[in-house]
Amino acid sequence: MTQRRPLIAGNWKMNCLRADGLELVSALVAKTAEKGSLGCDVLVCPPATLLSDVVNAAQNSAVGVGGQDCHAETSGAHTGDVAAAMLADIGAGYVLVGHSERRADHDESSTVIRRKAIAAHDAGLIAVVCVGETEQERDLGATLSVVNGQVAVSVPDGATAKNTVIAYEPVWAIGTGRTASVAEVAEVHAAIRAELVERFEDGDEFRILYGGSVKPSNAAELLAVADVDGALVGGASLKVDDFWKIIETCA
């Protein structure tokens, strides 16, 4: 059985002003330093306005920093967008691509997300490729076909376990307080693993995160599921004590 080091990632979304973000990351850095050896990798993805400050605050610590999105092009007339190379230039090591809120709010297709993942790889970033079905798709029994289709198109051929992480986030469980059952999570993660193993030589080494109302009260149960290699945490990552409790489940 391949040993995959868990990753606990916090997606701050469009939250935190500078003082809040610095307080949050500084407290997290202090906790990781006090703990010493961690049982997982730790990542925070702040808004673009805070990236530079958070990178500086987390420097030489166990806390990694990533962007929440990047453009598929390296430069050009794309007002309001950020290139993957720009994220890498200020010290980010990861970037989320294909989050359901990007897919829904900005009409991003899996084809666009694949191009963003390629741009991330070209810039030396680890792409966290997000996939997940809507409530309607689940109710129609289309979960596996939707998720596997997203993985097939969104994850580029050049992906490896070193430059790519998959995050499964059922859309109906994001920010709703509703969490997928252990059986539902296990089924989807097993399907994603099978897709990766069939397509990539190191498919068994890719980390697959679960996201969707992950909190201290359910983290241990979710992280114990086969092929769940960590969590992509939303609201709970904005409270350092809650986020830390999730991290500690990997100890």
Catalytic positions, written as ranges? 99, 169
Most distant CA pair in the chain: distance in Å? Answer: 48
Burial of 142 (0-12, 13-18, 19+ CB in 10 A): middle
Strands (E), 12-118: 41-45, 63-67, 94-97
- Say how far apart CA 60 and CA 76 lie, in whole Å: 33
- The amino acid present at 17, given as its one-letter code, is L
- Say how far apart CA 65 and CA 98 lie, in whole Å: 18
Among 203, 140, 127, residue whose Cα is nearest residue 167: 127
Strands (E), 69-156: 94-97, 126-131
Among 247, 235, 234, residue whose Cα is nearest residue 169: 234
Among 250, 184, 230, 251, residue whose Cα is nearest residue 10: 230
Q: Are 5 and 43 contacting, i.e. CB atoms less than 8 angstroms apart?
A: no
Phi/psi of residue 216, each to 5°? -55, -35
